């Protein structure tokens, strides 16, 4: 079943069960049937059991192998995001998958006026989780919270940069791990290098990085010709901002990545000048 099909099978009570599992996250990985029924204040255990069975079958939750305890899966979290984006009249319906990255699944979809939009569902993979697990500030956090924070961080980055005139997709909303944004009708820069005005594109990329760094206190952290989309008018859009942090070291690495690509395509670049421009010195 597709995510959209699963969403349509989730009834009002199932949805409340998912929401409650989310709200009880963190204390331990799995939530016991008992704490679930207490929190939900259900009169009839059967109704809850049936819902849990169904959600488990849809793989929106998973059961502890030994106890009668449950936790949300990534798909379960996706469903919460979809429902809330729908209730906020941002996402009318999901369509096909555009891309499955290391830390997300990206879907096409439609808003309530039938415009094409994009929804990115964040997922903290086991690899990236292992990496951050050792950071002190994140030590006590569960993967659901980390994933939701990543989505919020990407939305906030898009919102600030866009508001200040940078070239990023217009953010439309964020709910749980789901970030809805404008759909850019185009292709990644690495596929378009021979048919576009590279000088103009480089200027817009640097302008966007300057706004991000100076005004929004954000560095991209994974900037490359794969994370820059070129639309039909030849305008670049910088995407994929979840790892955004504020670091000069990372900024330099991003700039070197970009400079290498443009040099390879015959554009003269001076990394030091770029670095000074973006930092505003
Ligand atoms: P990665 O593996 O590169 O870290 P990711 O999981 O972080 O990927 P993104 O790079 O944000 O995800 O998006 C994955 C792909 O989805 C992009 O390479 C792009 O092709 C497509 N995409 C993302 N956002 C948009 C958008 N706003 N409009 C059109 N296509 C998009
Ligand atoms: Mn597309
Ligand atoms: Mn990417
Ligand atoms: Mn990414």
Q: Which atom of ligand 1 is nearest to the CA of 226?
A: 18
Tens digits of residue pLDDT in 108-153: 999 999 999 999 999 986 555 455 545 545 455 788 999 999 999 9
DSSP state of 219: B
Provide the pLDDT for residue 142. Answer: 86
Q: Quick one: which ligand is closest to 96's CA?
A: 2
- Report which of 155, 146, 121, 117 is spatially closest to residue 3, judged by C-alpha positions: 121
- Report which of 236, 206, 240 is spatially closest to residue 220, judged by C-alpha positions: 240
111 Cβ inside 6 Å of ligand 1: no
Provide the pLDDT for residue 125. Answer: 64
Question: 184 with 162: CB under 8 angstroms?
Answer: no
Tens digits of residue pLDDT in 78-114: 999 999 999 999 999 999 999 988 789 999 999 999 9
* Crossing angle of the two packed helices 33-40 and 45-57, in degrees rounded to 10: 120
Ion ligand 4: residues, Cβ under 5 Å: 240
Tens digits of residue pLDDT in 155-184: 999 999 999 999 999 999 999 999 999 999
Q: Quick one: which ligand is closest to 107's CA?
A: 1
104 Cβ inside 6 Å of ligand 1: yes
Complex ipTM, two decimals? Answer: 0.95
Q: Whose CA is nearest to atom 11 of ligand 1?
A: 240
183 Cβ inside 6 Å of ligand 1: yes
Provide the pLDDT for residue 225. Answer: 97
* 119 exposure class (CB count in 10 Å sphere: 0-12, 13-18, 19+): buried
Domain boundaries, the chain: 3-75, 89-182, 186-279
Tens digits of residue pLDDT in 217-236: 999 999 999 999 999 999 99
Q: Whose CA is nearest to atom 9 of ligand 1?
A: 240
Q: Which CATH architecture has domain 89-182?
A: 2-Layer Sandwich (3.30)
Tens digits of residue pLDDT in 34-66: 999 999 998 889 999 999 999 999 999 999 999
Domain range 3-75, its CATH number among 2.30.30.90, 3.90.110.10, 1.10.10.10, 3.40.30.10: 1.10.10.10
Quick one: fold of 186-279? Transferase(Phosphotransferase); domain 1 (1.10.510)
């Amino acid at each position: 079943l597709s995510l959209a099909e699963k969403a349509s099978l989730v009834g009002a009570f199932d949805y409340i069960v998912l929401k409650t599992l989310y709200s009880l996250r963190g204390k331990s990985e799995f939530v016991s049937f008992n704490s679930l029924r207490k929190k939900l204040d259900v009169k009839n255990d059967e109704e809850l059991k049936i819902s849990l069975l169904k959600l488990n079958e849809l793989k929106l939750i998973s059961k502890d192998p030994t106890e009668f305890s449950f936790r949300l899966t990534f798909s379960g979290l996706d469903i919460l995001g979809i429902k809330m984006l729908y209730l906020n009249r941002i996402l009318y319906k999901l369509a096909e998958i555009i891309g499955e990255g290391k830390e997300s699944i990206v879907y096409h979809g439609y808003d309530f006026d039938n415009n094409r939009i994009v929804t990115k569902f964040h997922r903290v993979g086991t690899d990236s989780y292992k990496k951050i697990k050792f950071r002190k500030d994140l030590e006590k956090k569960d993967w659901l919270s980390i994933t939701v924070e990543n989505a919020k961080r990407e939305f906030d980055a898009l919102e600030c940069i866009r508001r200040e005139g940078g070239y990023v997709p217009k953010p439309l909303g964020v709910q749980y791990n789901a970030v809805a944004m404008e759909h850019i009708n185009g292709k990644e820069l690495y596929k378009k290098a021979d048919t576009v005005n590279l000088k103009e594109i480089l200027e817009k990329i640097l302008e966007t990085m300057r706004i991000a760094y100076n005004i929004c206190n954000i560095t991209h952290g994974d900037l490359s010709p794969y994370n820059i989309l070129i639309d039909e008018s030849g305008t670049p859009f910088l995407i994929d901002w979840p790892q955004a942090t504020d670091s000069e070291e990372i900024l330099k690495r991003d700039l070197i990545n970009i400079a290498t690509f443009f040099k390879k395509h015959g554009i003269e670049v001076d990394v030091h000048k770029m670095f000074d421009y973006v930092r505003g010195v």
